[in-house]
Structure formats: C-alpha cells, structure tokens
Amino acid sequence: MFSATVFRSIITKPIWSRGLFVSSVSTNGNKSSDSPLEYREITKDRSQIIPVETSIRYLKSAAYQQTYGVDPVWKLYRRNHKGSIPPRKTRKICIRGGVISTGNPCPICRDEYLVINEHNIGLLKQFICPHTGEILSYTKTGLCQHTHYKLVVAIKRAYNFGFLTFNVPFREYDYSDYCGEVTGK
C-alpha cells in the first residue's frame, strides 16, 4: 500500500525535492494492513526498476489521488525555458546513468512509479486525446523525447494486443451491389 502523505499544496515543487513525501511500497503486494512496508525517500536516483504491477497499483492508490487528483499527470507540469517562447522540442532525456540529470524532469520521469508499459492502460489513456484518439504531442504534455518515444511504442503495442480499443466509423453496405437482387433463398 502507498502512504498518503503528499499534499496538493506542494505540487509546485518537483516531486523529488519534497522533504515531506515518503513513499511506501508493499514488498509482497498484499493489501492487508499488517503487511511489511518499505519506506523510501524521494531522491534523484532512478537505478531501481519498478515493476509495472506496482505502477498499476500506484495509479489506483490514495497517494496518487492526493498528488494528481483526477487530472492527467502532465496537467500541472510547466517547462522551464529561457525567454517567453519555448524551444520547439522538449529535452532529449531526463535520466542519464540512472540519475535525474535535470532540475525540472518531465511528468513521467519525475515520478518513478509511473512506468510506461503496454499493460499500464490507466497511464497510457492520459496521453490519448479523448476526442480524436490521437497521441498528444510532447509540446502539450512536456514529455522528454526519450519518454515520448517509449510512450508511442507502448500505446501502439497496447492497440496491437487489444488492451486499448478505438472506434471505427460504422459503414452501411448496400448488399445488392455485390449479390444482385436478394431473393431470400
């Protein structure tokens, strides 16, 4: 289980710099209250690989609700750039050598429990436009180029596996164009 010690009032700070935040992950995935909890401080270290099952549980947890609410994870993220006009592309990569190498990592790189995987449907859906079904641009979401590429691959894999569905226009066919007159035989 995840402890709910994040407050929305401090979301303006980067997540890794919050002193108050202590995340906890159950080691065995058991939801009982007496399960042992592993407490980890928020650091810039990203060398530990978080399994996708942990990320899926995190998206349903109270800590996630308190951090992001019902908004997508990129909603409150703002890019840092010089001048008033942002650069055309976002930065290449946020994590170099297992360590966050920038002061303002992108919305997925800053939270180590957001794992991009084709099974993590709740996360992938936040990056798909609900009206057109297209993948949102990195200029809107602020993802770094490396993470955006991984996201596009994961979304296309999810479509191929059938985890994500998409609507196609319904077509009416006039079968007499193909079969001639329908005689009812």
Residue 167 C-beta: closest distance to Zn ion, Å: 30
DSSP state of 40: E
> Which window, 21-29, 106-114, 157-165, 170-178, contacts Zn ion (CB under 5 A)?
106-114
Decide if residue 109 touches Zn ion (CB under 5 A).
yes
CB of 179 to Zn ion, least distance (A): 56
Residue type, 89: K
- Distance from the Cα of residue 98 to its chain's centroid: 19
d(CA 44, CA 19): 13
Backbone angles phi, psi at 181, to 5 degrees: -75, 130
Cβ atoms of 45 and 98 within 8 Å: the answer is yes
Does position 147 interact with Zn ion (CB under 5 A)? The reply is: yes
Q: How far is the CB of 94 from Zn ion (least distance, A)?
A: 3
Taking alpha carbons only, the member of 123, 124, 107, 127 closest to residue 58 is 123
By CB under 5 A, residue 144 contacts Zn ion: yes
Between 6 and 109, whose beta carbon lies closer to Zn ion?
A: 109
Q: Total binding residues for Zn ion by CB under 5 A?
A: 5
Binder to Zn ion among 6, 56, 73, 94 (CB under 5 A)?
A: 94
- The binding site for Zn ion (CB under 5 A) comprises 94, 106, 109, 144, 147
